[in-house]
Amino acid sequence: MKKLSKKGLAGTLASALLVASPLVSAETLRLLTWGGYAPQTVIEAFTKETGIEVQVTKSNNEDMISKLRATRGAGFDLAQPSQDRIKSAQADFDIYKPIDLSRVDAAQIIPSMLADTQKNTMFEGKVYGVPHVWGTSGLVVNSKMAANTADYTDLCDNALAGKVSYRLKRPTLIGFAYAMGEDPFAAYGDKAKYQSILDKVEKKLIDCKSNVKAYWSGGDALMNLLRSNEVVAAMAWDAGGWKLNNEMSDVTFVAPKSGALGWIDTFAIPRKSKAEDAAYKWINFVMRPEIAAQITAAAGNFTAAKDGDKFVDAKLKSQYQGSFSQADIDNIKWYPPVPAGLEEMEGKTLDRIKAAP
């Protein structure tokens, strides 16, 4: 047996420690995300394929900004803020680094969603977000009792008097504006123009008050109104419409002709990420259609993965395809960042609508 020198013995021991140490046995991706966006089955498949461990911290928009602001962009390698919450946070706190689009497999992503996210997360000429999970609000309709309801303003049809519901919130103002031929998001930079749009919508919604059974504030209350047929058409979210469709085949989500209103939760890379390579690998991994389907099952919402509906539950796939054609998806109006002062203007408009007889 060959006797090891002290130097050789030290090297052997060091090698053994490196193999045994869990701290260096695999790279770690620290993910700051929403509930359901990183199910355990997906994490295990990713780790098996790449050798990269994933540590998940569940959060929301406000908490993400707070955590990254406190550390100046440190502590996490990948975050998932909504697209309309990135530009202002970056301008105020410098907590993200630009996305290297050459490292994103764009062929896996629905082009219209990728384009809109790039536009809405651009700051000083650089893109800061990649689309991931999305959802919309539009119409939930009883096809037997409100067959002609195809856009927001159809809720004001005399045939539906006393049988509709929507919230007195900003999505209602925006949806009605689009259905009336306006482009409220394009007017975000012009307060006078935006006010003129609000004035137009205000008059329409005051005239429409006789059609409203109730202004809903909680999803359960709305679902019960639809179940009882007290309401036959409403402004609501897609997942709620599909959930109700499981109980009532005549009720489902309808994408309005003027466009559903959409939100997107993105991927954004914190400024002091220590595992940027792992972050891009995760992004490209979860946008595979078969992986995206697992996230849809866990989160209840679809992802921006192209063909992401291909592997989901047959019932949900049928509901999704029945609500959204490709044209409907391309026509979604994605929420951009809200300029300062606009929500105050909207609040005054909503107050006047509520107070009107």
Does residue 12 fall inside a structural domain? no
* Inter-residue contact 12 to 36 (CB < 8 Å): no
Q: Which of 21-35, 48-62, 250-264, 331-345 has the lowest mean pLDDT?
A: 21-35
CB 72 within 8 A of CB 94: yes
Domain residues for the domain of 306 are 25-128+262-323
The radius of gyration computed from the CA coordinates of the chain, to the nearest angstrom, equals 24
- On whether the CB atoms of residues 204 and 221 are closer than 8 A, the answer is no
Residue 236: pLDDT band (50, 70, 90) is very high
Rounded-to-integer distance, Cα 221 and Cα 218, Å: 6
**What is the SS3 assignment for 142?**
strand
Residues 143 and 241 in one domain: yes
Instruction: Round the average pLDDT of the chain to a whole number and report it.
Output: 92
Domain co-membership, 229 together with 348: yes
What pLDDT, on the 0 to 100 scale, is given for residue 219?
A: 84
CATH number, domain of 350, equals 3.40.190.10
Domain count, the chain: 2
Q: Answer left, alpha or beta for residue 162, where phi above 0 means left and psi between -120 and 50 means alpha.
A: left
Answer yes or no: is 302 within a domain: yes
Structural element, H or E, at residue 195? helix 191-207
List pLDDT tens digits, range 78-107: 999 999 999 999 999 999 999 999 999 999
Residues 253 and 148 in one domain: yes
Same domain, 33 and 111: yes
Mean pLDDT of 336-354: 94
Question: Could you tell me if residue 329 is inside a domain?
Answer: no
Q: Are residues 141 and 255 both part of a single domain?
A: yes
Say if residues 133 and 37 touch (Cβ distance below 8 Å).
yes
Distance of CA 293 to the CA centre of its chain: 16
User: Per-residue pLDDT tens for 172-228?
Assistant: 999 999 999 999 999 999 999 999 999 999 999 999 999 999 999 888 899 999 999
pLDDT surpasses 70 at 8: no
pLDDT at 45 over 90: yes
Residues 141 and 205 occupy one common structural domain: yes
The verdict on pTM exceeding 0.95 is no
Average pLDDT over residues 228-256: 96
Q: At 279, which amino acid appears?
A: A
Task: Calculate the dihedral angle through the C-alpha atoms of 83, 85, 86, 92, rounding to the nearest 10 degrees.
Answer: 170
Residues 151 and 280 in one domain: no
Local confidence band at 136 (pLDDT 50, 70, 90 cut-offs): very high
CA quadruple 40, 41, 44, 47: dihedral positive or negative? negative
Residues 290, 317 share a domain: yes
